[in-house]
Amino acid sequence: AQRVTQPEKLLSVFKGAPVELKCNYSYSGSPELFWYVQYSRQRLQLLLRHISRESIKGFTADLNKGETSFHLKKPFAQEEDSAMYYCALDFGNEKLTFGTGTRLTIIP
Amino acid sequence: DGGITQSPKYLFRKEGQNVTLSCEQNLNHDAMYWYRQDPGQGLRLIYYSQIVNDFQKGDIAEGYSVSREKKESFPLTVTSAQKNPTAFYLCASSIRPTGDEQYFGPGTRLTVT
């Protein structure tokens, strides 16, 4: 079955430390991969997508086909990075499958 | 903000009553979606529509119904058959059904007692 797994419900990181939010998927094909973010009192919004290969707000995400992972990384965490992060995949069936989310808290 | 709106922000209903949540977009997007967001469960897809007058069941469609009579509107009805209706409901839209960014509304929190 096609599945998206975010193993960490909660993640706390000190300001200035590196951040890595994990996302694993189960699928034999090549999905479209996204990271969405929800800041406090704001709408859920797209952070980045694999196909664009952009770095947004210092975040990058690399696809590892061998490990079927799409982890989100940032070298130096900032307080404004505190938010809920969702990994989402389009398995080519015209809908997104979301992970259960990771709440990131940056400790000042 | 803007572009996709949901109303009301908070909704309270008695058990056994049907309730309809509104979702409107002025982005001229073809595809629209309804999700349910519960703590620890992420976003789960209820229904989606790729084009006017067409819609498909998502992963948790039981107890819900939708219509797509207009491109800009995709209302969701939570029926009395939904066993656990209290939740935060999110509507989204995208230009096309596949591979495009989804734009989300602010959400409606439904409480059924």
Please provide residue B55's backbone torsions phi and psi, each rounded to the nearest 5 degrees.
-155, 160
Cα-Cα-Cα-Cα dihedral sign, residues B22, B73, A41, A45: positive
Residue of A nearest to B92 (CA): A44
Return the CA Rg of chain B: 13
Q: How many angstroms separate the Cα of A78 from the Cα of each of A70, A89, A103, B58, B94?
A: 21, 26, 14, 36, 30
Cα-Cα-Cα-Cα dihedral sign, residues A19, A46, A51, A23: positive
CB-nearest to A94 from B1, B50, B92 is B50
Q: Of A13, A15, A89, A43, which Cα lies nearest the Cα of B45?
A: A89
Q: Of B32, A25, A43, A42, which Cα lies nearest the Cα of A34?
A: A25
B-chain residues within 8 Å CB-CB of A51? 99
B-chain residues within 8 Å CB-CB of A25? none
pLDDT tens-place values along chain A, 108 residues long: 788 999 999 999 999 999 999 999 998 888 889 999 999 999 999 999 987 777 789 999 988 888 899 999 999 999 999 999 999 998 887 789 999 999 999 999
